[in-house]
Structure 1
C-alpha cells in the first residue's frame, strides 16, 4: 500500500478548498483513466468538466462518490480526507463507516435518474434523510415538499416514477439529492437521457439552484452552451488529465491548447 503520510498535513494552515484532488490516479489494469490529477474547487464554485469520451470526466465524479476506489493520491472534501482517514498521524484507506459519514457531504444526480420505483416522488425524497441522517419523518416530509416545490414537482409528489416523464423524474432526482443537505452537488450528464424538448426543464432547475444555494457544483456535460452559462470555470479533460481550464469566456472564446481547439470545433460542427 502507498504511504500517504505526506498528505496528512498538506492542507493544514492554508485555505482549504471544498474539493481537492491531490495526485489522484485511477487505473483499470493497464488503462489509466485519471493520471496524477490535481484539482482544487472552492466553496460555492461551479465547475463544468468537458472532454471527449474516455477522458476521465465521469470517473472524477464516481471517485468523489466513492463508487470507484483510487489507486494513488488523496481526495479531500471540506478539508477532510474522503478516500482515507487519519490514524497515528498518517492517512490509511478509509473504512466503510468513515466513507458512509463522508458521503453525506455529497449529492449526485445521474443521467438515468435511479429513483426507487416502488416509492412516490415524496417518499423518494424522504428516504435518505430519515434512514441515513435520522431526521424525524415530519421534518423530512416538510423538507421534501419544500424541495419538490423548488423543482416544480410538488403537484406530482404522490406519483411513482413510472407515471412521470424523464424530465420530471430528473427533477425529482435533484430534489432527492438536495434533501440530504450536501455541501457538494455532482451532475453527471443529467440531460443526456432526456428528449430535447424537456432538457430545458432540468437546466432551468439547475440554474435556479445556482442562484438560490451556495452549493459547490461539479458538472460533467456535453452541452457547451449550458456549461458556458452556468460555470465559474470549465475544465477540459484529455487522457485523464486537465488539458486546459479557465473561465468560460476564455476557454470557449480563446482556447490555447490545440486539443481543446479541435474538441470544441468538433462539438460545434456536430451541433
Structure 2
C-alpha cells in the first residue's frame, strides 16, 4: 500500500531522510520510533505532501505519490494528481487542528461535503457513525473549546476517517495529552486496528503502545531505518547497538 524507493529529503545541506526504502502492506500497522531529529515525522509529512522530496519515488496504492506518468516516464505531479492522491490518506497530528467555529458534527462533515461531494444527509450519517465509534456522539453539537484534549483528538480521528482514506497516519497523537486521557485515544486506535482493514503508519514515543498494537516497528536513526522487526523481536532482542541504547534510555527515563 505504501512504498518508499530510495527517498531522500534535504534541508539545504542537512540530509533528513537518506535513501529510504520502506514497504507497508495493505492492512499493516507499522510504528516508527527513534530519537528526536531522526526523521520520523518527516516521513509522515512527505506522505501528506506537506514536504517535497529531493530524490526517489513514493507509491501509495500502486500509484506514484509526488510523480505521475507522462509519455512513459515519471514527471513531477501536478496539483490535480496530488489532490487525488491526498484523498487516499488521512492524518492525525499532535495538535488536533479542529475548526473552532464549527461543532463536532460540522467538523466531521466539512470534508465529505466540500471535498468528496457527498450530500449533507450522507455526510451526517457517516459522521454520526464514526463519532459513535470513537465514543463522541453525545458531544456532536458541542464546539471544540468545550472538549478535553482527549475528546478533541478522538474527534480529529473521526474527522480523518470520514474521508474514507486507505491509509491513516498518526503523528504523536498522544503527546499533547494529559496522562489520564491517553488511554481514550489509544483505545480508539486499538479499535481501528481490530475492526478496520486500514493501513496505518504511526510515529510514537509510547513504547508500550507500539509494542501492543504494531505488526512491525521501525527504529529510525540519522534519517534512515537502523533496525526493523516485529515488536517482540525489536523490544525483546534488538540487534543493533544504537537500538539497544535508545530502548535502554527510554526504560531509564520511565
Corresponding position of 1:203 = 186
1:96 CA displacement: 1.1
* Alignment partners' CA distance in 2, 1:75 and 1:219: 17
What does the per-residue CA deviation read over 1:20-64, in whole Å, with 9 as the maximum and x for residues that have no partner? Answer: 000000000011110000000000000000000000000000000
- Pairs aligned (count): 254
Q: By how many angstroms is 1:173 displaced?
A: 0.1
Which residue number in structure 1 is paired with residue 39 of structure 2? 56
Segments of 4+ in structure 1 off by > 4 A? none
What is the CA–CA distance in structure 2 between the aligned matches of 1:240 and 1:135, rounded to whole Å? 40
Deviation of 1:95 (Å): 1.0
1:132 and 1:238 map into 2 onto residues whose CA distance is 37
| Equivalence for 1:3 | none
Partner of 1:114: 97
Residue in 1 that maps onto 2:203: 220
Q: Distance in 1 between matches of 2:247 and 2:130?
A: 36
> Who is 1:124 aligned against?
107
For 2:142 and 2:84, locate their aligned partners in 1 and report how far apart those are by CA, in whole Å.
31
Provide structure 2 residue ranges, at least 5 long, that are not aligned to the other structure.
none
Describe the SS at the equivalent of 1:182. coil
Matches within 5 A, 1:232-251: 232-251=215-234
Q: State the superposition RMSD in angstroms.
A: 0.4
> TM-score if structure 2 supplies the norm length?
1.00
Q: Which runs of 5+ in 1 are unaligned?
A: 1-17
With normalisation by structure 1, the TM-score equals 0.93
Which residue, out of 163, 166, 170, partners 1:180?
163
Match for residue 87 of structure 1 among 70, 74, 79: 70
State the alpha-carbon separation in 2 of the partners of residues 218 and 31 from structure 1: 25
Deviation at 1:97, TM superposition (A): 1.2
